[in-house]
Amino acid sequence: MFKFITNKPLWVNILAGFGLVVILLLLFFASLSWLTGFGKYEKVPMVTGQNYMAAIKMLEDKGFEVAIQDSIYIDSIAKQAVIRQIPEADATVKAGRTIYLTINRTIPPQVEMPNLAGFSIKSAEMYLQSLGLKLGEVSFKPDIARNSVLEQLFNGDPIKPGTKIPIGTIISFVLGSGVGGGEMEVPNLVGMTLNEVRNYLSTISVSIGSIIALGTIIDSANAFVIRQTPDMLTDSLGASGLRVPNKIKQGQVMDIYLSSTAPERDSTHMPPKN
């Protein structure tokens, strides 16, 4: 075989090689349209909203390749439904083109509940929306922090910051309604434990302001109040010559001073038992 080539003049071999290259190029370009589908076009069908398995079958039956590009979660759309397709429906593309799909997740992702206490209702709502959470009921209670978030609730119960919850969860808020109109005498909290103070003040819609520890306290919940601001009595004297009871409104706050040692308690000015 090699003698057949070597016995020929060099110029004949060069011409033969050149002719072979030309033939191969002609064959390549002739088959190029078949390999690339040149000149063959298909209209992309609408698969948005369909279950992704049905969408894949429809596209593959049309000769398209299919790839799942992304998955997100939208609670208003059926699970595993196609949310977006690229190219879009009715686009004319080459046969065999890859169609990229974005589908809706089966299980919603979870986010951490933020601490929205102190936020305005508008800011709190925008924060919820940025995390994919929804605003539920808004209620009010007397508090000096008017229209600020006092409590955040999930299914009617307080939810702690950092708690993992699914996207789409509904969060309700309790807001401050401002200081109430009616006045009452300042209660005497001296001698009560911090737990007792919290329970009692919640019944009269008065909040605890600053909590100041005097000395070393190991268990603050069971520590005792030894001083309070405002005090139960004013410094002024009434017609009887006695100090006048101080007044407070719903929504106002009281500062308390704690000690591990119980003070003497004046039973004549103790708040009523629940």
Check which CATH number belongs to the domain holding 47 and give it: 3.30.10.20
Render pLDDT for 30-70 as a digit per residue (tens, 0 to 9). 665 555 555 577 889 999 999 999 999 999 998 899 999 99
Q: Quick one: 170 and 206 in the same domain?
A: no
Render pLDDT for 244-270 as a digit per residue (tens, 0 to 9). 888 888 888 899 999 999 887 655 455
DSSP state of 31: H
**Last residue within a domain, chosen from 104, 133, 151:** 104
Q: How far apart are CA 247 and CA 212, in angstroms?
A: 22
Render pLDDT for 184-217 as a digit per residue (tens, 0 to 9). 889 999 999 999 999 998 888 888 989 999 989 9
- pLDDT over 70, % of the chain: 82
Q: Tell me, yes or no, whether 75 lies in a domain.
A: yes
> How many structural domains does the chain have?
3
Q: Tell me, yes or no, whether 124 lies in a domain.
A: yes
Q: Quick one: 99 and 148 in the same domain?
A: no
Q: Tell me, yes or no, whether 172 lies in a domain.
A: yes
Report how far Cα 135 is from the mean position of its chain's Cα atoms. Answer: 11
Note the pLDDT of residue 255.
Answer: 94
Handedness of CA 6, 10, 12, 14 (dihedral sign): positive
Other Cβ atoms within 10 Å of 130 Cβ, number? 10
Say if residue 274's pLDDT is above 50.
no
Q: Tell me, yes or no, whether 31 lies in a domain.
A: no
Q: Quick one: 259 and 190 in the same domain?
A: yes
**Last residue within a domain, chosen from 52, 84, 104:** 104
One-letter amino acid of 58: M
Q: Tell me, yes or no, whether 7 lies in a domain.
A: no
Q: Quick one: 227 and 164 in the same domain?
A: no
Say if residue 78's pLDDT is above 60.
yes
Note the pLDDT of residue 248.
Answer: 87
Q: Quick one: 130 and 76 in the same domain?
A: no
Q: Quick one: 187 and 265 in the same domain?
A: yes
Exposed, middle or buried: residue 62 (CB in 10 Å: 0-12, 13-18, 19+)? middle
Q: Quick one: 207 and 163 in the same domain?
A: no
Q: Quick one: 218 and 241 in the same domain?
A: yes
Q: Quick one: 167 and 235 in the same domain?
A: no
Question: What domain range is 170 assigned to?
Answer: 110-176
Q: Quick one: 205 and 250 in the same domain?
A: yes
More confident site: 274 or 236: 236
List all residues 6 or more positions away from 197 whose beta carbon is below 8 Å from its beta carbon: 189, 208, 225, 256
Q: Quick one: 89 and 128 in the same domain?
A: no
Q: Tell me, yes or no, whether 229 lies in a domain.
A: yes
Q: Tell me, yes or no, whether 1 lies in a domain.
A: no
Q: Tell me, yes or no, whether 150 lies in a domain.
A: yes
Q: Quick one: 93 and 127 in the same domain?
A: no
**Last residue within a domain, chosen from 159, 176, 193:** 176
Q: How far apart are CA 182 and CA 163, in angstroms?
A: 38
Note the pLDDT of residue 74.
Answer: 86
